[in-house]
Structure 1
Amino acid sequence: MKKKNIIALIAAFVVFIIILMLPNPESLPFAGQVSLAVLAFAVIIWVTEAVSYPVSAVMIVSFIALFVGLSPTIEDPSVTYGTKGALGMAISGFSSTAVLLVAGALVLAAAMEITGLHKRIALFIMSKVGTKPRNLVIGVIVVTFILALIVPSATARAGALIPILLGIIAAFGMAKNSKLAALLMITAVQAISIWNIGIKTAAAQNMVALGFMETQWGFDISWGKWFLYAAPWSIIMSIVLYFVITRLIKVEDMPGNAGTESIKAQLKDLGKIHGKELRLIIISATLLILWATEGILHPFDSTTVTIFAVAIMLTPGIGIFTWKEVQPKVPWGTLIVFATGISLGTVLLNTEGATWLSSNTFEAMGLTDMPLVVMIAVLALFNILIHLGFASATSLAAAFIPIVIALVVGMGETAFNGPGLVLIMQFVISFGFLLPVSAPQNMLAYGTNTFSAKQFLKAGIPITIIGYLLIVLFSATYWQWIGLL
């Protein structure tokens, strides 16, 4: 273990103990103070990555079970929660339907990897756009959109696209640190982040907010409604990305058709579409239709149809893989962290820790007295700034969304739709545009040494500013017109 990680872990423990030993405010139940101590511990180890995310999940669960378990209940201070009861709270996230949807999405992403279908789709689209740099940028943006529809993992989409782009760069005889390489790689990961917002199933962190909203308000948002709310923003930002990136990184047209030949050669190496790919195409297309028409043409929710699709993919004879094949391809640690994040947020809400933190930060600032659009502008700006310290949008959602929910609940009856404000803050959580460490897909591309952190930031600043202003504009217009706010 690295020295800096040991120091960070010790610091997390020290902060945890200090918060526990602070005088307990009258307005904050002791269990709420404990949950805030656990939150502080979690944020420090998430930001510093002192331990891996799955290890952090185990620590958080054990802390909640032990320390909340020894705390007096809010209803009757003479009785403690008990470690068994607190452990139930600590693992409550694992029973969320949002976790099942993420699990199904991870299996679907594994199916794409096993069959190579996502690579075939990317290569096919890239073969049609031509090899002029501007055309390649358009091709990359289109590929990220198409893959976001059927590959519910930003990291998996980046993993499929990056090797293809490296092949194109090599075919042109360009160095890895060339302008062309930077142009294509930065476009790819920024477009992936943009469509993480536009499509409900494109990123796991979206499920975190929905998990909290389901717990607090007892409802889910369908795939089609999410698309109606967020896709217009992502479409505009995709156009913005094209103009920003092609002006910041100017590349001359490439001579010859080496890039086209490289793409055709890679497509040829894949061979003809085989039976498993064909079955996966049918399953993916059916899933997309069922997701998009939920509540319109049928009563089946996204989670149920996704899990049913997984069952079909695992069925001998008509399926795509065996459990033995898919099991090592699924990042189970991600699922554990995701469920633990929902548990922590639920504990913060149930013990009134999130409510107290909200009232002593945002409400103390007078945020609740501000006009709606100004409130969203301030919250979104705060959201973007704290994202600079988080390498995981899922972790940021687990820490921030419960506080926003508490803020909305604390306002009581409002003239706007409170859950809509929470959803908009979830959109902003996917703003991983500024730093390579702001999102896993950024780090995956950064590891190819095709661009510098300075180049990434140079492109990320205008994209973040325009994206932020567009969030504010949509909050004042479109989202109010269609009933999100």
Structure 2
Amino acid sequence: MKHKKSIAGIIGIILGVVIAFLIPTPDGLTHAGMIVLASLVTANIFWIFNVIPSFATGLLMLSSWVALGAVKFEVSFAIFSSTTMWIIIGGLGLGAAATKTGLIKRIALKIMTYFPANFRGQTLALFTAGTIVAPMIPSAHPKAAMSTPIAKGISNALGYKEHDKGSSGIFLAAMWGFFVTEASFLSATAQNYAFKGLIPASAQKVLSWGNWFVMMIPWTIIILVGGYFLLKLLFKPKDDKPISKEFISKQLTELGPMSRDEKITAAVILVSIIFWILESAVNIPAAVTALIGVSVLVACKVLTPDDFKNRLSWSTIIFIGTVMALGNVMQSAGLTTWLRTVLQPVISPIIGNIYITVIALPIIIYLCKFVVVSLISTGTLITIGLLPFFSTMSFSPAIIAIIVTTSVNVWLLSYMNAPFLTGGAAVNDSMVSRSAMAKSSIGYMLINIVGLLVCVPLWQVMGIA
């Protein structure tokens, strides 16, 4: 429909006005809570239909709370002075340097030289390279844009035709390794920090870089092993004999010797990851580590002011900040208490048992993805819906952030996953078929639930489940 965005925008504004000013305030809810609820309804309609850019919708939402007297400015915009926002900025800066210098491409290609040049070998190579690279770049789109052209070169060298089984499998191996494994590391994507920022401060402390990694070890193993056999079952060509790895060696030769900027970037990222792992021991916040790392890269002229302007997605940073503000504001306006009462009959059975939660919640998220396109928006909506129940859960809300992170990454239909669109565009949509996308996504959806179930005993040992 030609005017779909405009119609959705008008409906969203009308609903917001009706909720805020025309509907009587229910018992147990203040007028400030009604304003926050109204703005949330309007914002979600704007996000779902992409009426205006997502970050602009978020800024309007925060501003409306202040303009209409729901909360003060310091409360509405408090998230922008938090450590979470600064680690996102610092992490994206480190990732920009790794991409700019060619370090990430060199690491990926070097790893591939150690594996046979056939479907099975290069699938394992892409899985391994992606998993190693994942925590270094906290943004899915650069990794998708960088990894799929490498996969295209592999596919061509192996003689696969466009959109056939082999080509589709190699493309999906690249996305599986470089994108799906983002859930294994806190620093692998900015959305991990966004979901972490929505849960209570006490639960956020549980999700340090090291704890997140440990919590996700069983899931990571299941995802990698299950993913490898899934792609092998669905897409492995009949003739899978190894060929020469000349195409990989050629690309490495074209990169030349490791440059000064690559060496500096590698050292800074390695030190940063070590300090993130030892955050509680050294008592240096992860955000400070990231910002020091970026400052070193600037001082060494690896990054320039233009890089900060052009290589960091500031619209994404602002959008993440606006959605993270929802948690504190909803509590401040009394909306969480009211929602807990209203939603308790529906939510309580889902969160009453950890095993039921890790099965039912992913399925709910999968269904939401048919309507809400944005990964961050989907995760935000689900987390906000559960926010009133965090204090009554028998397990840590940190687990909710983990489940949301792993479950929003589905690609059953092409519009559901923007990074997959980026990866496809990087190779002119010449590799993977739509049916291959759907089959692999269904496989991931099932493997994800199995992986989460396997994590539960570990979470119980850790005292968070």
TM-score of the pair, normalised by structure 1: 0.88
- What is residue 78 of structure 1 aligned with on the other side? none
| Residue 309 of structure 1, CA deviation | 0.3
- Report the residue type matching 2:290 in the other structure: T
Partners of 1:354 and 1:406 within 8 A in 2: yes
Is 2:37 aligned against 1:57?
no
Of residues 206, 225, 234, the one that matches 2:192 is 206
Query: Hey, what's the Cα distance between the residues in 2 that align with 1:371 and 1:10?
Result: 41
User: Which of 34-43 and 211-220 deviates more?
Assistant: 211-220
- What is residue 24 of structure 1 aligned with on the other side? 25
Superposed CA deviations along residues 170-214 of structure 1, whole A, max 9, x for unmatched, are: 334433323222111122223344322210111111112322335
User: Which of 155-164 and 379-388 deviates more?
Assistant: 379-388
User: Which of 105-114 and 321-330 deviates more?
Assistant: 321-330
Partners of 1:148 and 1:202 within 8 A in 2: yes
Is 2:309 aligned against 1:327?
yes
Per the alignment, do residues 328 and 427 of structure 1 end up closer, same or farther by CA in structure 2, a change over 3 Å counting?
Answer: closer
| Residue 56 of structure 1, CA deviation | 1.9
Query: Hey, what's the Cα distance between the residues in 1 that align with 2:272 and 2:288?
Result: 11
- What is residue 251 of structure 2 aligned with on the other side? 266
Is 2:387 aligned against 1:405?
yes
Query: Hey, what's the Cα distance between the residues in 1 that align with 2:343 and 2:336?
Result: 10
Query: Hey, what's the Cα distance between the residues in 1 that align with 2:203 and 2:348?
Result: 25
Query: Hey, what's the Cα distance between the residues in 2 that align with 1:210 and 1:242?
Result: 29
Superposed CA deviations along residues 374-405 of structure 1, whole A, max 9, x for unmatched, are: 24433333233223333322222333223323
Query: Hey, what's the Cα distance between the residues in 2 that align with 1:313 and 1:347?
Result: 36
Q: Which residues of 2 match residues 330-479 of structure 1 at below 5 A?
A: 330-364=312-346, 366-367=348-349, 370-409=352-391, 411=392, 416-447=394-425, 448-449=428-429, 450-475=431-456, 477-479=457-459
Query: Hey, what's the Cα distance between the residues in 2 that align with 1:256 and 1:366?
Result: 54
Superposed CA deviations along residues 58-91 of structure 1, whole A, max 9, x for unmatched, are: 3223322223x1x4xxxxxxxxx5xxx2x33332
- Report the residue type matching 1:478 in the other structure: L
Query: Hey, what's the Cα distance between the residues in 2 that align with 1:273 and 1:182?
Result: 32
- What is residue 263 of structure 2 aligned with on the other side? 278
Q: CA RMSD in A?
A: 2.4
Is 2:141 aligned against 1:159?
no
Of residues 162, 171, 180, the one that matches 1:194 is 180
Q: Which residues of 2 match residues 28-47 of structure 1 at below 5 A?
A: 28-47=29-48
- Report the residue type matching 2:14 in the other structure: V
- What is residue 243 of structure 2 aligned with on the other side? 257
> Please, which runs of 5 or more residues in structure 1 have no aligned partner?
72-80
- What is residue 185 of structure 1 aligned with on the other side? 171
Per the alignment, do residues 166 and 472 of structure 1 end up closer, same or farther by CA in structure 2, a change over 3 Å counting?
Answer: same
- Report the residue type matching 2:275 in the other structure: L
RCO higher in structure (CA 8 A, sep ≥6): 2
Instruction: State the number of aligned residues.
Output: 461
Superposed CA deviations along residues 355-379 of structure 1, whole A, max 9, x for unmatched, are: 3234322444542783343244333
Query: Hey, what's the Cα distance between the residues in 2 that align with 1:454 and 1:17?
Result: 43
- What is residue 74 of structure 1 aligned with on the other side? none
- What is residue 3 of structure 2 aligned with on the other side? 3
Partners of 2:331 and 2:337 within 8 A in 1: yes
Partners of 2:160 and 2:166 within 8 A in 1: yes
Identity, % of aligned positions: 24
Give the secondary structure class of the aligned counterpart of 2:232.
helix
Partners of 1:93 and 1:341 within 8 A in 2: no
| Residue 473 of structure 1, CA deviation | 4.2
Of residues 263, 276, 291, the one that matches 1:307 is 291
Query: Hey, what's the Cα distance between the residues in 2 that align with 1:35 and 1:6?
Result: 23
Query: Hey, what's the Cα distance between the residues in 2 that align with 1:218 and 1:288?
Result: 19
- Report the residue type matching 1:348 in the other structure: M
| Residue 439 of structure 1, CA deviation | 2.8
Is 2:217 aligned against 1:231?
yes
Superposed CA deviations along residues 272-298 of structure 1, whole A, max 9, x for unmatched, are: 1111111111111111211222224x2
Per the alignment, do residues 231 and 95 of structure 1 end up closer, same or farther by CA in structure 2, a change over 3 Å counting?
Answer: same
Partners of 1:199 and 1:231 within 8 A in 2: no
- What is residue 243 of structure 1 aligned with on the other side? 229
Partners of 1:229 and 1:484 within 8 A in 2: no
Per the alignment, do residues 439 and 192 of structure 1 end up closer, same or farther by CA in structure 2, a change over 3 Å counting?
Answer: farther
Query: Hey, what's the Cα distance between the residues in 2 that align with 1:159 and 1:374?
Result: 37
